[in-house]
Amino acid sequence: MKARPLGITILSASFWVADHGLALGGLVLVLLGATSWPLALPLGWTALGLAFFAWVAEADGIALPRPGRMPIRTYGCWETPLAFTVRRRQAVLLFTREEDLERGGWSDTYTVRQRPDGDGFDPKFELPLAPTNDWSLRGQTPVAHLRFEHHERVCYVQRGSLERALVSAGI
């Protein structure tokens, strides 16, 4: 197994604590309320209830705000998606991987396209290759620059890796 750098390991551990802190805190408060401090019992059950509703929301595909991560809509989602969109400032960015005809499979770079954000359009139904489209080509970035996380039916990209990828693409 390939060793991970210490910075990525610490960042992953801090994301894990942020993701599971509400449930763990609720469990601790329930135990504390059941043994010594009765006021902690309703607080603990409330925290566990909120953690449950957050889990159900993600199971239904609703993206929740998570520290250090941005929700993405993926198309062809495996561990590394074939294409995804992310909303950034006043624009929607579309990242796509093209077929690599020389080696077979998919390329090692994402092609980045941008479109102004607006209501009433769904990026998966608007092909960026059509001659009359609003998608402008912005550049390419290596797939290895992006770090993805998958939670139930929602996918996220780590904000720092997205910023590095956008700098690499020249955006």
The pLDDT averaged over each successive group of 10 residues in the chain (171 residues) is 52 69 87 90 91 83 81 78 84 84 83 76 57 74 87 83 85 77
DSSP-derived 3-state class of residue 77: coil
Residue 63 DSSP class = P
CA atoms in the 13 A half-sphere facing the CB of 16: 6
Determine the pLDDT at residue 3: 55
**Residue spans of beta strands (DSSP E) within 22-90:** 69-75, 83-88
Instruction: Give the domain extent around 111.
Output: 69-169
**How many domains does the chain fold into?**
2
Cα separation, 36 vs 102, in Å, equals 68
27 domain-assigned: yes
Q: Are residues 83 and 158 in the same domain?
A: yes
Determine the pLDDT at residue 89: 79
Determine the pLDDT at residue 111: 87
Cα separation, 7 vs 164, in Å, equals 15
Determine the pLDDT at residue 1: 45
Q: Are residues 76 and 38 in the same domain?
A: no
Q: Are residues 87 and 30 in the same domain?
A: no
pTM: 0.71
Determine the pLDDT at residue 126: 57
